[in-house]
Structure 1
Amino acid sequence: MLDENNSTQENELFTRAYVEYNNEKYDESLNTLRELENISPKHKTKIKHNCAVIAFSKSNSINFQELLKTLNELYEEEIENAKLNSSGVCFTPIANYNKAIIYYNRSLHRTGIKYLLPVVEKLESFEENFALLVSTLMLRLLLASQQLNRAQHFLALLQIKFPRIADSLLPDENFTDKQLLEDFKLLAMLTNVLNRRTVAIPDDGSLEFSALKARQYYIMKDFQMAAKQLKIINTESNENNTDTDILKTCIANNMGIIHLRVRHYAIAAKFFQNAITFDKQIASNMRNIPLYDISSARSCEILYNLGISMLHLRRPKEAFQCFLVPLKFYHSNPRFWTRMAEACIMEHEMKLLLEDKKPMVSSVVNIGSRRKYILKPTPRTMYPPSTQCAVLPEPTMEFAILCLRNALTLTKFYKSSFSEQNEEGGGTENQNWKEIIDNNFCTPSAPISKDALDRMLSAIYTAYSYVSIRLGDYVTALEMARECSKSEKLSDAHKMLVKLYSGQALIMMDKIGEARSYLDPQFVNGLNAFDFETKDWQVKSLEAAQNVVRYNLAVAFALQGDFDGTSRLLNTCTHPVVIAKTMALKIYVDIKTGKYCKFEKSYKLSLWNV
């Protein structure tokens, strides 16, 4: 609030208002500012700003809308004054800083960075306490928006320009706000940890450093030590009665993440459900809470984690419902769309499994030589177009194709703007930190690597091809499969799916000869068995993959009328993953060759003898 150009009386009033504000005497501070305005109208803008800040603090930091409205009005007034005076816009660092704080706490991190950047550009002109305040907020914004590499370069800049405050290991007695200095040191360590740099975290027993140590263990993939550290935090907080709903939510969610990584999906789901319970208690008191607690509710991220667990537990309907809420906030994240499509596909597959348990012959008409067999309906008539409500999405194949279309469009766009120089924390030492582009396309997840982006694109293509086959769009299915075959570093599992879906699409397009070239079982022998064993799906071995390809080739033989070749292939299809479909196809072949009646009579005679 001080201004060196003010008169002695004005400086005294500014100082008195500042002291009264720090002592939470808000009414007295407002009266002092009004007195200052009467004797010095030239400080009208600064006084209006300070009065808005005091009114915000007086409301227990709840009425932030009025403060933001005032800050925007002052900004517009400065623009008009600058136009009249033919000069640049007056630079108000504190007003911009306050705006950035509001947007940070409302989880609008990129908007906060936009308003804080002009302040950071003139960081060297501020006294060190305010420079530290601005630097801390910028680090928070960068880390919250998953701009990890950019935050690392910004921290490196601070170490050059402010070596005394940037050293996160040495204390400094010249700072009046010791807590602010501790916050900055903690953020500096967190920045290094998230960028996978070696950091010696002090073991002082504080909650913040203990949580940072747990996160470091997790990033180093030492999941057992990470879980142990979280348990220590939970025990100490219970003993000291410092366990809050926010702390309980974080511990439960992080424990769920650890169990998710080690494939303990049921335990992970339980932890996520507990985290949601704690988070609901936070959200129930969100109407009249301070600005600084608005972002404490984290239900979106937790619901996404729970949805992933439900997918692994083969509970697609629950997973789909979990994804609906976070999708509203992270609709530009292709991973969300892909996961929703996977839930729709799994729900459809579970319905198919129920249908496969029914006999292929649904009924028999007439007897003797006039006997006719009524088979089950074909998939095209079995699954008519969904009549779902457009307002309430449901896990159907029609909605899956919409999800995959969005995921494919977003992934292609992000791949075109991928910055390879910043991958794995790269970039030149002299590069301006503002020019760093983190590949954080999947917010709130960490920045994505090029390999992960290619793997996601392959998964989208294969899922798109499969759903198109189920919906009868065989041209699109073949196109997606061929696009997937062009992907970089295609996994062996996806190579098999590409050939399988290409063959199926060509069969349905009545191009049997061309389809048989895709369904050669020999190519499976050259695939990596480990790539199948690590996937969470039914085809977990090369033997299972061989049986799936042989079955599809048998279908192609049957459609060409080569029933002898079909029978030979079906005799080699003994894996449980295809046994039900193999038996159904054998019955079809027996019916077409006239063997089904003889088999049925023989079965009845043997039963009579018994």
Structure 2
Amino acid sequence: MSESIKANSEDHKEGKNDRSSNGILASDDERVLAQKALLQFHSRKYEECLRTINELLEIRQNDPKVCHNLGVAQFYKSSCTKLDELTKVFDSVLIQFSGENGEDQDSVDEFDQAALNYNKALILYFFRQYEKASDIIEGLFKIIEPLDENLACKICFLAADLSFATRQANMAGEKLAYIEKMITSSEKGSTNQHHEKSETFFTVGGGTKHGLQSESLQMKFNQYKARLHLLNGPLKLCKREIKILMSSTPVTPTAHFLKSNFEYLRKNYRKSIKILNSSPRLDSNELIVMYYNNLGCIHHQMKKHNLAALYCKKAMNVNEECIQKPNDSGNINSLSAVQALNRHYELLYNIGIELLFSNRPLPGFEALIQCMQAFNTDPKYWFRIAECCISAYRMGEEEIAAKAQNKSYIVSTVVGVGQHQKTVLKPTADYSYRYLPPSHGISVANPEPSLKFALPCLKNALLLLSSVNYNNNDQAIQRNDNSRSRAKVYFSPSAAGMNAHDIIALRYAILAAIAFVSLQLGELVLALERSKELLALPSLPGLYRYLGHMYAAEALIRLNKIDEAVQHLSPETITDISCSFSTQPETTSENKTEADNISSAATRHKFPRTIESARALMFVNLASAYCLQRKPEKARKCIEQASVLRLEKEHIPGAVLISIYIELANGNVASALEVLKRQQLYPFQRNNGSKNIRNS
């Protein structure tokens, strides 16, 4: 994209050959100097170009176009490292063009100001200030008709890049349609009076401009159309564009990357890797970074998360070289370094996700936290951080539970002898680890992977998600601008890629996670509210409906509202525990995969694998509720039903404890001891013919 800045700067330099910005015609000597400076700039003789521009500046003092060209030449002389100084030059020249210095604004050349605004928007694009850049580009589109065709093309391509960055496929399609219209009209030999007028500003250096019929422009246009179809579909149209790109000579690495992405969306992952490996020699660090990152994404979809993390780390190492290469002193204020710094956070985010999926939540949390300044408006980002906290908590819980299997960890001492012998347990063996208070010293400035930090992260995600308007037939995110006084939120590229289906899936996952975390932290009212909100959503998948009832029941039991809790523990209502939606909009393969990744995050821990085991676990929880109501007979029948449905191995200990409690409540000490020794639902297994408690 740095070439775009250079090309446009050249165009803008050429615009000074006829007259200055105040409308006074330039003399012949001034035109000679301007043409000489332009030739030197094209030849990359920046020192000679600067001397020539300084001579012209002595004649044309405070001329905004000359000042602009001087700033651009100095920028390229510094190897594109003084980006801040170039931005200040643009701001200063824009003030002069706007007439704030008392000049007649009617005399300001429309083309000159448009070229300068384009350069300003391009700088903002590199700094990822997409909203400001889009506002400038939209303003240029209102006056695009009288502009030179080359500048108009550049404006359209930059607008398309902005639309791709924010995943607004419809806007990108409009800009590409305009370029196609320009190319079609050029093929017919038609032009307008404004273009003929603007061509007078390009009397020298015209060879650097590409015409609308040039092969390079047509190839670039085909690349953008392929990117549009990859983003918005249908993939059949994308296949046609990719065939055109692959038939060109020579075949560029971009064509291979697009074809690999095409196969990736079709879930042909091995073929996608094969195409990547067959691409021409990657002669730049940017392409190498893209190559490793794409390999990481492909292996992520293949569920090979450790290998995906390895490729992402390789991409990160190469990218670090891009950041330090422009300036050995550590200055990262160059154009290529800004691009590399932008990729740095994306790669770090990918590494964090792979570490999370490979069951390493602590290093994953550290990686994701470092991306906060780049993804703080992304609801998925906050959800993934919270998921790292939940996974770390679950790992700690499982570690303590594993230690509890050791007798020395549970038993403090044994006193007495014979029938009077007693076992004294340690205070830590009361299974209170499930409700351990959060660690001390946690703050936003020094976050730790705890449930206390997970809760505000989930609230941030839900708040950001609530500001989104979506249409089931529209794959692009739309901002909710119902109130003009409301601040506009521009989502990061990761969030902007979500369609309506992904937004719904993420909302389900966030609400379920908030309910879980709130239960562990003792925020029972919040857990109940979010569980009910989850259950009230339409087209709720069976997995989240199951979790919603479970979380709501636990919150109600701990709030001493057992009768209401029993209403949620109805095994007959469990007919599905999958993550699939009953009705899904038509989406591309990429979007479906993203929704699957969101839903799969909720199923990586212990969860019933079949409907029968889910119902059995529901019966166990229902038995627990009946025990609290002092109804041991009903609880006994629930345990019998759970025994018939065959509980999974990890859920048997809880059912055994309830069985022991029931036997002790009924005064059957011998039966309780037998159940305790055998660690199975004995003697209830002989009552397999018992009827469902709900039907009794």
Q: TM-score range, shorter-chain basis?
A: 0.7 to 0.9
Corresponding residue for 2:289? 249
Corresponding residue for 1:397? 451
Q: 2: CA distance between counterparts of 1:166 and 1:544?
A: 68
Confirm or deny that 1:356 pairs with 2:401.
yes
Corresponding residue for 1:329? 374
The alignment-based identity, stated in percent, is 24
Corresponding residue for 2:203? none
Confirm or deny that 1:451 pairs with 2:497.
no
Alpha-carbon offset, residue 54 of structure 1: 1.0
Q: 1: CA distance between counterparts of 2:170 and 2:625?
A: 53
In the TM superposition, 1:383-422 aligns within 5 A as 383-390=436-443, 391-414=445-468, 417-419=469-471, 422=474
Change (3 A) 1:346 1:27: closer
Confirm or deny that 1:225 pairs with 2:245.
no
Q: 1: CA distance between counterparts of 2:489 and 2:610?
A: 34
C-alpha contact (below 8 Å) 1:152/1:192 kept by paired residues: no
Corresponding residue for 2:683? none
C-alpha contact (below 8 Å) 1:404/1:460 kept by paired residues: yes
Figure out how many residues of one structure are paired with residues of the other and give that number. Answer: 579
Confirm or deny that 1:462 pairs with 2:505.
no
Q: 2: CA distance between counterparts of 1:366 and 1:564?
A: 36
Q: 2: CA distance between counterparts of 1:601 and 1:113?
A: 70
Q: Which of 628, 638, 653 is equivalent to 1:569?
A: 638
Q: Deviations over 1:552-607 (max 9, x none)?
A: 11221222233444444345263123123334444555666573798399979xxx
Alpha-carbon offset, residue 36 of structure 1: 2.8
Report the more deviating stretch, 145-154 or 278-287: 278-287
Q: Which stretches in structure 1 are left out of the alignment for 5+ residues?
A: 427-437, 605-610
Report the more deviating stretch, 444-453 or 176-185: 176-185
Confirm or deny that 1:302 pairs with 2:356.
no
Confirm or deny that 1:259 pairs with 2:278.
no
Alpha-carbon offset, residue 40 of structure 1: 4.2
Corresponding residue for 2:88? 69
C-alpha contact (below 8 Å) 1:155/1:166 kept by paired residues: no
In the TM superposition, 1:417-566 aligns within 5 A as 417-419=469-471, 422-423=474-475, 441=491, 443-524=493-574, 526-527=575-576, 531=580, 535=600, 536-537=603-604, 538-539=606-607, 540-566=609-635
Q: Which of 580, 585, 607 is equivalent to 2:653?
A: 580
Corresponding residue for 2:173? 152
C-alpha contact (below 8 Å) 1:442/1:448 kept by paired residues: no
C-alpha contact (below 8 Å) 2:295/2:308 kept by paired residues: yes
Q: Secondary structure of 2:493's partner?
A: coil
Alpha-carbon offset, residue 447 of structure 1: 3.0
Q: 1: CA distance between counterparts of 2:517 and 2:150?
A: 58
Q: Deviations over 1:6-65 (max 9, x none)?
A: 333332222121112212222332333333334444x71111111111111111111121
In the TM superposition, 1:282-297 aligns within 5 A as 282-285=322-325, 287-288=330-331, 290-297=334-341
Q: 2: CA distance between counterparts of 1:29 and 1:245?
A: 30
Quick one: which amino acid aligns to residue 463 of structure 1? A
Q: Deviations over 1:228-278 (max 9, x none)?
A: 111212xx42xxxx4443323212211121122232323323322332233
Quick one: which amino acid aligns to residue 493 of structure 2? T
Q: Which of 107, 116, 127 is equivalent to 2:128?
A: 107
C-alpha contact (below 8 Å) 2:352/2:364 kept by paired residues: yes
Change (3 A) 1:174 1:155: closer
Change (3 A) 1:122 1:64: same
Q: 2: CA distance between counterparts of 1:381 and 1:218?
A: 42
Q: 1: CA distance between counterparts of 2:137 and 2:615?
A: 59
Q: Deviations over 1:267-291 (max 9, x none)?
A: 3233223322333333343645641
Alpha-carbon offset, residue 183 of structure 1: 3.4
Alpha-carbon offset, residue 439 of structure 1: 11
Confirm or deny that 1:50 pairs with 2:119.
no
Q: Secondary structure of 2:377's partner?
A: coil
Q: 2: CA distance between counterparts of 1:568 and 1:355?
A: 32
Corresponding residue for 2:163? 142
C-alpha contact (below 8 Å) 1:408/1:460 kept by paired residues: yes
Q: 1: CA distance between counterparts of 2:213 and 2:347?
A: 38
Confirm or deny that 1:23 pairs with 2:31.
no
Change (3 A) 1:121 1:245: same
Alpha-carbon offset, residue 177 of structure 1: 7.7
Q: Deviations over 1:462-484 (max 9, x none)?
A: 11111111111111111111011
Q: Secondary structure of 1:125's partner?
A: coil
Corresponding residue for 2:688? none
Q: 2: CA distance between counterparts of 1:441 and 1:300?
A: 15
C-alpha contact (below 8 Å) 1:123/1:131 kept by paired residues: yes
Change (3 A) 1:29 1:208: same
Change (3 A) 1:88 1:35: closer
Q: Which stretches in structure 2 are left out of the alignment for 5+ residues?
A: 1-13, 20-24, 189-208, 479-487, 582-595, 679-696
Q: 1: CA distance between counterparts of 2:674 and 2:412?
A: 14
Q: Secondary structure of 2:278's partner?
A: helix
Alpha-carbon offset, residue 446 of structure 1: 4.8
Q: 2: CA distance between counterparts of 1:322 and 1:135?
A: 36
**Aligned-pair Cα RMSD in Å:** 3.5
Q: 1: CA distance between counterparts of 2:610 and 2:254?
A: 45
Change (3 A) 1:93 1:598: closer
Q: 1: CA distance between counterparts of 2:446 and 2:345?
A: 18
In the TM superposition, 1:121-140 aligns within 5 A as 121-140=142-161
Report the more deviating stretch, 490-499 or 69-78: 69-78
Corresponding residue for 1:14? 34
Q: Secondary structure of 1:99's partner?
A: helix
Report the more deviating stretch, 360-369 or 541-550: 360-369
Confirm or deny that 1:269 pairs with 2:309.
yes
Q: Deviations over 1:438-497 (max 9, x none)?
A: 998452345322222122111111111111111111111111110111112211111111
Alpha-carbon offset, residue 208 of structure 1: 1.5
Alpha-carbon offset, residue 320 of structure 1: 1.4
Quick one: which amino acid aligns to residue 90 of structure 2? L
C-alpha contact (below 8 Å) 1:481/1:501 kept by paired residues: yes
TM-score, normalisation: structure 2 = 0.75
C-alpha contact (below 8 Å) 2:516/2:527 kept by paired residues: yes
Quick one: which amino acid aligns to residue 465 of structure 1? A
TM-score, normalisation: structure 1 = 0.85
C-alpha contact (below 8 Å) 1:481/1:498 kept by paired residues: yes
Change (3 A) 1:175 1:584: same
C-alpha contact (below 8 Å) 1:338/1:407 kept by paired residues: yes
